[in-house]
Amino acid sequence: MYQDRELTCRDCGNPFTFTVGEQEFYASKGLENSPRRCPECRRAAKSGRSDGPSRGGYSSGGGGGGGYGSGGGYDRAPRQMTDAVCAQCGGPTQVPFVPRGDRPVYCSDCYAQIRGSSYSGSR
């Protein structure tokens, strides 16, 4: 004889009833284990995992620490840095644009110097 059993869903933690009919169904399939999930979660698992409540999934890992943390501007292309030579000190530098040749390119140090000092004085 079968009788309804109260089980607890492994996924959502909600109690659900393992009905006599289901137990008979399971027995007819030769399954001796009781179901671990409530019918809702079973259905969700069957119909594809995409729209289920994805709690405790991959996203909340937190391990290495990537660089993407700031802001949500994912669609903006990463800034392309171009190798250039500083017109002042001759050292290699990188600029966030493609130098056309009609403008001198400075490394950050020299650029800061130039901005800071030389344009201030006008004799």
CB of 64 to Zn ion, least distance (A): 32
CB of 16 to Zn ion, least distance (A): 7
CB of 98 to Zn ion, least distance (A): 19
DSSP string, the chain: ----EEEE-TTT--EEEE-HHHHHHHHHTT--SPPSS-HHHHHHHHT-STTS--TTSSTT---S--STTS-S--SSPPPPPEEEE-TTT--EEEESS---SSS----HHHHHHIIIIITT---
Q: Which is nearer to Zn ion, 26 or 111 (CB)?
A: 111
Figure out which of the listed residues 9, 84, 85, 95 binds Zn ion, where binding follows CB under 5 A: 9
Figure out which of the listed residues 5, 11, 99, 113 binds Zn ion, where binding follows CB under 5 A: 11
Task: Restricting to residues 73-112, name those near Zn ion by CB under 5 A.
Answer: 86, 88-89, 107, 110
Report how many residues bind Zn ion under the rule CB under 5 A: 10
Applying CB under 5 A, the residues found at the interface with Zn ion are 9, 11-12, 38, 41, 86, 88-89, 107, 110
